[in-house]
Amino acid sequence: MKHAHFPDVDGIDALALGLQGAEKMKVKLLSENSVCLELEPGGSSPDHNHEDKERLVVMSGAGEFKTHEGRRPLQPCDFIEFEADEQHQIINTGDEPLVLMCFRNQQ
């Protein structure tokens, strides 16, 4: 069993991790398949895809996600599931941090 209070986990600047296009984004590594993402106002994740299915839960803030289908708004308590290899990007369009929990499971 692992128990972590994610506000207590140190965040790592995403650009320092080599994530190109990750503006104003901090990553908190919670486990091998779980991270907390914090996007500052005006920040974004890289426009990317993963080999694994990805699930996101919005904890706080406001923003939008972009896929090949266009853009959709994000708000607290939203759940998004991206299929493996589905290109997507998360963007903070609000004036406070956008906090998301991200979970991946290997195929």
Give per-residue pLDDT as tens, 47-99: 877 777 889 999 999 999 998 899 999 999 999 998 888 888 999 999 999 99
In a domain, 99, yes or no: yes
Query: Per-residue pLDDT averaged across 4-11, rounded?
Result: 82
- pLDDT tens digits, one per residue of 22-49: 778 898 888 888 889 999 999 998 887 7
Distance between start and end Cα atoms, the chain? 22
In the numeric block, which tokens belong to residue 57? 């839960």
What is the reported pTM? 0.86
In a domain, 71, yes or no: yes
The domain containing residue 74 runs over which residues? 38-107
Integer Cα distance of 3 and 29 in angstroms: 13
In a domain, 60, yes or no: yes
In a domain, 91, yes or no: yes
**Domain total in the chain:** 1
CATH number at residue 99: 2.60.120.10
